[in-house]
């Protein structure tokens, strides 16, 4: 017994070292990604408020580029507005036009803007923390975009913060298509460069060229159709049937300040709201 104690004492630093390393390994293995991220900023008041504070400071520094983005977006919206206006004018004089009664199947998307409190782009599985949570109506599974294109999907929500799983995460699976074609596949991140992602297993019968745009596809209720994801930079022939495409992402994940969260509202939700409004 005494020699055992002497042995332990002799190597006590080594044992202490091993215990600490095992402890950190247990943390790595036991905590899944969501718990880790949750532990991070959303639920942790100290870290959360610190990040909030610093991002407020850095907001002032980046006002110039945010302004630029807003100007570009408003120009784009003006262009769209003009297009729609001319369409409405055309329809007004078209007496043969009948209002199609497909309100029930029409998708309604609502946008909410949130500030990015904290983001990572250099890990294998990256996450963004944004400053809107359940109290602002955010739920898991909602799509997130910014003025440049698709950002990711909300994967965890607390009272005032949410965690977004961006394209730059090995678990993120976002449906994508080559512009003007139907559904093609899911966009995956290659794991190291924040500027590029891969679109795998594209069937060869779909014509793809370098420079084509990749957009969100129509068969999900998360994103509206035709939101920009990126442009094709490289096409690789995997075998006789499939391509693998390198996509340059349109969103700059290293410098992301504001995002829009998309809520997909089903029609029955809306009619219920209207009925409530009438009975008031």
Partner 1 sequence: MNNTLKYGIMFIGLVLLQALILNNIQFLGFINPYFYIYFILLLPSSVNRDLTLLLGFLLGLSLDVFCGSLGCHTFATTLVAYLKPYFQKVFGPREDYDVVIPSFRSFGVKEFLQYATILVFVHQFVYFFVEAFTFADILQVLMKAFCCSIFTILLIYIAEKLTYKR
CA–CA gap between residue 250 and residue 165 (Å, rounded): 17
Closer residue to partner 1 in complex, CB, 160/181: 160
- Shortest approach of partner 1 to residue 78 CB, angstroms? 33
Which has the closest alpha carbon to 245: 221, 209, 275, 191? 209
Closer residue to partner 1 in complex, CB, 161/243: 161
245 within 8 A of 237, measured Cβ to Cβ: no
- Shortest approach of partner 1 to residue 24 CB, angstroms? 4
Return residues touching partner 1 (CB under 8 A).
12-13, 16-17, 20-21, 23-29, 31, 35-37, 39-41, 44, 47, 50-51, 54, 58, 120-124, 127, 191-195, 253-254
Helix (H) or strand (E) holding 214: strand 213-216
Listed in sequence order, the DSSP H helices in the chain are 2-10, 12-30, 33-37, 45-61, 63-92, 267-279
Closer residue to partner 1 in complex, CB, 125/263: 125
- Shortest approach of partner 1 to residue 149 CB, angstroms? 17
Closer residue to partner 1 in complex, CB, 41/175: 41
145 within 8 A of 259, measured Cβ to Cβ: yes
Closer residue to partner 1 in complex, CB, 148/177: 148
Which has the closest alpha carbon to 246: 199, 203, 278, 214? 199
- Shortest approach of partner 1 to residue 268 CB, angstroms? 38
- Three-state secondary structure string covering 76-138: HHHHHHHHHHHHHHHHHCCCCCCCCCCCCCCCEEEEEEEEEEEECCCCCCCCEEECCCHHHCC
Closer residue to partner 1 in complex, CB, 153/256: 256
Closer residue to partner 1 in complex, CB, 90/124: 124
- Shortest approach of partner 1 to residue 7 CB, angstroms? 17
- Shortest approach of partner 1 to residue 254 CB, angstroms? 5
- Shortest approach of partner 1 to residue 162 CB, angstroms? 14
Helix 45-61 to helix 63-92 angle (10° resolution) is 80
Pairing state of beta strands 228-237 and 242-249?
antiparallel
């Amino acid at each position: 017994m005494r020699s055992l104690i002497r042995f332990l004492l002799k190597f006590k630093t080594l044992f202490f070292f091993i215990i600490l390393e095992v402890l950190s390994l247990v943390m790595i293995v036991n905590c899944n990604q969501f718990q880790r991220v949750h532990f991070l900023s959303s639920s942790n008041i100290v870290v959360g408020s610190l990040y909030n504070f610093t991002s407020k400071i850095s907001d002032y520094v980046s006002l110039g580029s945010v302004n630029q983005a807003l100007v570009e977006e408003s120009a784009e919206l003006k262009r769209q507005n003009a297009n729609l206006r001319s369409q409405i004018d055309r329809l007004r004089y078209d007496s043969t036009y009948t209002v199609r009664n497909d309100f029930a199947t029409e998708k309604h998307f609502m946008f909410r803007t949130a500030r990015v409190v904290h983001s990572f782009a250099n890990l294998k599985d990256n996450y963004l923390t944004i400053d809107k949570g359940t109290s602002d109506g955010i739920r898991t599974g909602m799509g997130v975009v910014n003025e440049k294109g698709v950002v990711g999907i909300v994967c965890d929500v607390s009272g005032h913060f949410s965690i977004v799983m961006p394209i730059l995460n090995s678990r993120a699976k976002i449906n994508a298509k080559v512009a003007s074609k139907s559904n093609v596949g899911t966009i995956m991140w290659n794991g190291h460069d924040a500027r590029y992602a891969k679109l795998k297993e594209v069937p060869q019968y779909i014509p793809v060229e370098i420079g084509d745009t990749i957009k969100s596809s129509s068969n999900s209720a998360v994103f509206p159709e035709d939101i920009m994801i990126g442009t094709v930079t490289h096409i690789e022939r995997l075998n006789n049937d499939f391509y693998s495409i390198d996509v340059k992402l349109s969103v700059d994940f290293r410098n992301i300040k504001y995002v829009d969260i998309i809520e997909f509202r089903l029609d029955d939700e809306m009619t219920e709201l209207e009925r409530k409004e009438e009975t008031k």
